[in-house]
Amino acid sequence: MGLRVVTEKRVRVPVWLEVLVPVGAVMGALIAGAVLLALLGVSPLAAYAAMLRGSLGDWYGISETLVKAVPLTLAGLAVALSFRMQVWNIGAEGQLYMGALAAAAAVRFAFVDNSLVMFCLMAGAAALAGGTWGAFAGYLKARWNVNEIITTLMLNYIAIHAVDYFVYGPWKDPASLGFPMTASFPAAARLPQFFDSRVHLGIFFAVVFAVLFHIVFRWTKWGFEVRVIGANPKAAQYAGINFLRNAVLVMFVSGAVAGFSGMCEMAGLQGRLQHGFSPGYGYTAIIVAWLARLNPLALMGVAFLLGALLVGGDTLQVVMRLPLSSIQVLQGLILFAVLGAEYFLTYRVRFIRSVPDSPKEVD
Amino acid sequence: MEMLVPILAAAVRSGTPILYATLGEILTERSGILNLGLEGLMLVGAFTGFSVASGTGNAWLGIAAAFLSGCLLALVHAFLCITGRANQVVSGLALTMFGTGLSSLLGRGFIGETILGIGGMTIPLLSEIPVLGPTFFDQDPLVYLSYGLAVFLTWFLWSTRAGLALRAVGDAPRVVDAMGLSSTRLRYLYTVIGGGIVAVGGAYMSVVYTKMWGDLMTAGRGWIAVALVIFAIWHPLRAVGGAYLFGGVGALQLRIQAAGTSIPAPLLLMLPYVFTIFVLFVISVRKGKGILLGAPASLGQPYHREERD
């Protein structure tokens, strides 16, 4: 008697499995990370304990986690929208930078001493700039089939250098002692912070947008069209769904949300535009979106977890002198593990006992 | 003309890491597997190459180690995408994140260190040809190796049985399986070897070109190589021209900067990325809507021999 492994495609995915797979994947990644830490001569238990204490151990840690969850949720939604349509927007990072750049331009050239008016101006500028950045790649993709993965990625580099051009050059604060940043914004161009912490107004919009995206995906015709194109572009074409219009629109909305998140990050936290203000939120957002299986509501929870990971990473840097890149390694491992674990969502693996004296099957 | 020679020679040198990466990715994509992890592979290759060369004092050992490190990382991608049938785009991104983080984590101790690396090697006679000689034949051994690799791959793809099988598995894995060859095995093989070649491109940067290790030193060259594969329509010889074109843009940008221009550095640094989009745009328009000549038909699609397409 021997054991035979049989894999078969699942017809339906049980709910418990849909939860178990990402949780198990994160666990697996943490274990792999622990091995790596041990190889580096760092005690993995001490490192993970420090991360947990730093991120969720007290109110300060939790509030910092929330602060990081805001851009991760918003940029994650941006990524999830385009991924649903199988348009691979890897450019959330660049759209985020463009949004912040445009909002900073609004503060510089169209300042109004009224918080509400200024917020609308900054949000509008950021959404328009991020949206244009995304729609450009979307149009090239839809009209001439220019690979959007590459264009959005190249646009990231261009956007980061564009911000650098301004903060090292014409917009640099003369009083900044050489640091590449603009002057501090006036109070009206900042987002209010709550709870005696750095948690800012952006958190409200992160939740609102997540719910809004959920409604759009679930109950609107447009959300349905996007899903159909993603699931089967040919069928979508036969159904008369316009690919060009949808691709441009999806990439515009995606870029606009990412741009908005860049504005929130800048106006809610630093209160000025500065070099490298995002530690790769646009890339981490890809993990957030994928881990949440592109579900907007689940995305908020995942963003919180990855926010905790980032805050924990800051703690690691201070306490154990491990660089931020160790968190990047962990992020890569998580994504690997999730991709590997997803196999069990599509396929069912069974062990079958093969009985020697059973009648042979006739083909 | 004489003034041009240093720029042309610099274009070849700074195009070489991109050329290795592009050739490796052509091999991988020809088998139907899309690997977007080039940036991570190159960085890990650059780190491995440098650290081994610095530790052993033997630069060639560094190059060999870089090749192996690339193979190993690409094996992860191969396992997830071929056996696990995972999304190849996302797996490639994971590879980039992991490789970028790992190289910068492990490379901390090597910043500021320099090595002897691999020096130049002038080829007699050939190097005396005006313009072409100093451009192409007054370089280092790895540059010559890359010429050989491009020619070899072209011959391999279109003149050998194994090359035919490789092209077939990228177009129609089902047919390859029906022929009695294992499409799974072929895809594993070429994804792994391709990853190794990409990593050598990274190692060229640290061991030969700069002779030092720098955090994130590839600066997007891996992604430019992904674009170049399309530019080259999956043909190794066209990749040579493309890589030197991009190498030329990079070399030119450095020269303008060194000459002390009034153009701000960030604007110059944008140049290669703007150029990449522009080139990609021109090819895509020329090829017409939706037609990707030369693209392996089943590129990026998970395949299972027991399921219907």
DSSP string across B50-118: HHHHHHHS-HHHHHHHHHHHHHHHHHHHHIIIIIS---HHHHHHHHHHHHHHHHHHHGGGGTT-B----
Cα–Cα distance measured from residue B293 to residue B78, given in angstroms and rounded to the nearest whole number: 25
Cα–Cα distance measured from residue B38 to residue B196, given in angstroms and rounded to the nearest whole number: 10
Q: Please determine, for residue A134, whether its predicted confidence score (pLDDT) is greater than 70.
A: yes
DSSP H helical segments within chain A, as ranges? 15-39, 44-56, 59-84, 92-109, 115-144, 148-168, 202-219, 221-231, 233-238, 243-265, 281-291, 296-319, 325-341, 343-346
Residue in B95, B276, B284 nearest the CB of A154? B276
DSSP lists the bridge partners of residue A349 as A7
Q: Which amino acid is present at B221?
A: R
Give ipTM to 2 decimals. Answer: 0.87
Question: Taking the CA of residue B112 as centre, how many other CA atoms within 13 Å lie in the half-sphere pointing to its CB?
Answer: 2
DSSP lists the bridge partners of residue A193 as A200
Residues A227-250: tens digit of each pLDDT: 888 788 788 888 878 888 888 999
A137's tokens? 């790649």
Judging contacts by C-beta atoms under 8 Å, the chain B residues touching residue A149 are 36, 89, 226
CATH number of B4-111+133-287: 1.10.3470
Nearest to B92 by CA among A153, A253, A80: A153
Task: Tell me which fold the domain A43-321 belongs to.
Answer: ABC transporter involved in vitamin B12 uptake, BtuC (1.10.3470)
Residue in A145, A290, A333 nearest the CB of B284? A145
B289's tokens? 């809507």
Judging contacts by C-beta atoms under 8 Å, the chain A residues touching residue B226 are 149-150
Rg (alpha carbons) of chain A, rounded to whole number: 23
A270's tokens? 């630093």
Which residues does B245 contact at the CB level (< 8 Å), separation at least 6? B11, B15, B279
CB contact under 8 A, A286 and B101: no
In this structure, the number of other CB atoms found within 10 A of the CB of residue A207 comes to 14
Cα–Cα distance measured from residue B133 to residue B127, given in angstroms and rounded to the nearest whole number: 4
Residue in B76, B98, B270 nearest the CB of A161? B270
The helix/strand/coil state of A22 is helix
In this structure, the number of other CB atoms found within 10 A of the CB of residue A59 comes to 11
Judging contacts by C-beta atoms under 8 Å, the chain A residues touching residue B230 are 147, 150
Write phi, then psi, for B235 (nearest 5 degrees): -115, 125
Judging contacts by C-beta atoms under 8 Å, the chain B residues touching residue A165 are 264, 266-267
Cα–Cα distance measured from residue A332 to residue A28, given in angstroms and rounded to the nearest whole number: 12
CB contact under 8 A, A335 and B93: yes
Cα–Cα distance measured from residue A274 to residue A267, given in angstroms and rounded to the nearest whole number: 11
Cα–Cα distance measured from residue A348 to residue B54, given in angstroms and rounded to the nearest whole number: 48
Which residues does A229 contact at the CB level (< 8 Å), separation at least 6? A85, A86, A236, A241, A243, A246
For chain B, give every domain's residue range. Answer: 4-111+133-287
For chain A, give every domain's residue range. Answer: 43-321
In this structure, the number of other CB atoms found within 10 A of the CB of residue B151 comes to 13
CB-based contact A37:A43 (threshold 8 Å): yes
B31's tokens? 């088998």
Place of tokens 């610099």: B10
Mean pLDDT of A312-327: 83
Q: What is the pLDDT of residue A355?
A: 61
Distances in whole angstroms, Cα of residue B203 to Cα of each of A67, B55, B197? 39, 15, 10
Judging contacts by C-beta atoms under 8 Å, the chain B residues touching residue A9 are 307
CB contact under 8 A, A155 and B230: no
CB contact under 8 A, B266 and A162: yes
CB contact under 8 A, B90 and A342: no
Q: Please determine, for residue A331, whether its predicted confidence score (pLDDT) is greater than 60.
A: yes
The helix/strand/coil state of A349 is strand
Distances in whole angstroms, Cα of residue A192 to Cα of each of A102, A199, A304, A332, B165? 20, 9, 21, 34, 63
**Minimum distance, in Å, between the CA of residue A195 and any CA atom of chain B:** 34
Of A76-80, A312-316, A358-362, B172-176, where does the model show the most confidence? A76-80
Place of tokens 């069928």: A235
- Which residue does chain B place closest to A244, by CA atoms? B289
- Which residue does chain A place closest to B276, by CA atoms? A154
A241's tokens? 């769904």
Which residues does B75 contact at the CB level (< 8 Å), separation at least 6? B188, B191, B192, B195
Q: What is the pLDDT of residue A147?
A: 84
Of A169-173, A216-220, B76-80, B139-143, where does the model show the most confidence? B76-80
Better pLDDT: A144 or A362: A144
**Contacts across the A-B interface (CB distance below 8 Å):** 142
CB-based contact B231:B75 (threshold 8 Å): no
CB contact under 8 A, B273 and A286: no
Burial class (CB in 10 A: 0-12, 13-18, 19+), B79: middle
A62's tokens? 């939790």
The helix/strand/coil state of A47 is helix
Write phi, then psi, for A274 (nearest 5 degrees): -140, 160
**Minimum distance, in Å, between the CA of residue B126 and any CA atom of chain A:** 38
Write phi, then psi, for A41 (nearest 5 degrees): 85, 20
Cα–Cα distance measured from residue B191 to residue B44, given in angstroms and rounded to the nearest whole number: 16
Q: What is the pLDDT of residue A324?
A: 81
The residue length of chain A stands at 363
The residue length of chain B stands at 309
Q: Which amino acid is present at B266?
A: P
Residues A135-149: tens digit of each pLDDT: 999 999 888 888 888
**Minimum distance, in Å, between the CA of residue A355 and any CA atom of chain B:** 24
Write phi, then psi, for A342 (nearest 5 degrees): -65, -20
Which residues does B58 contact at the CB level (< 8 Å), separation at least 6? B52
Q: What is the mean pLDDT of chain A?
A: 86
Does the CB of B233 have a partner CB in chain A at under 8 Å? no
Mean pLDDT of A256-261: 95
CB contact under 8 A, B280 and A328: no
The helix/strand/coil state of A195 is coil
CB-based contact A302:A206 (threshold 8 Å): no
CB contact under 8 A, B101 and A329: yes
The helix/strand/coil state of B24 is helix
Q: Please determine, for residue A211, whether its predicted confidence score (pLDDT) is greater than 60.
A: yes
Residue in A151, A158, A340 nearest the CB of B84? A340
**Interface probe, candidates A11, A157, A349, chain B, greatest B C-beta count within 10 A:** A157
Does the CB of B123 have a partner CB in chain A at under 8 Å? no
CB-based contact B284:B15 (threshold 8 Å): no
In this structure, the number of other CB atoms found within 10 A of the CB of residue B257 comes to 13
CB-based contact B165:B186 (threshold 8 Å): yes
CB contact under 8 A, B280 and A147: yes
Cα–Cα distance measured from residue B273 to residue B36, given in angstroms and rounded to the nearest whole number: 17
Q: What is the pLDDT of residue B308?
A: 61
Write phi, then psi, for B47 (nearest 5 degrees): -65, -50
Average pLDDT per block of 10 residues along chain B, 309 residues long: 79 93 95 92 95 90 95 95 89 92 89 80 80 82 92 94 91 86 92 96 92 86 89 89 89 81 82 86 70 70 71
CB contact under 8 A, B89 and A164: no
**Minimum distance, in Å, between the CA of residue A260 and any CA atom of chain B:** 24
Distances in whole angstroms, Cα of residue B161 to Cα of each of A321, B25, B157? 54, 20, 8
- Which residue does chain B place closest to A86, by CA atoms? B89
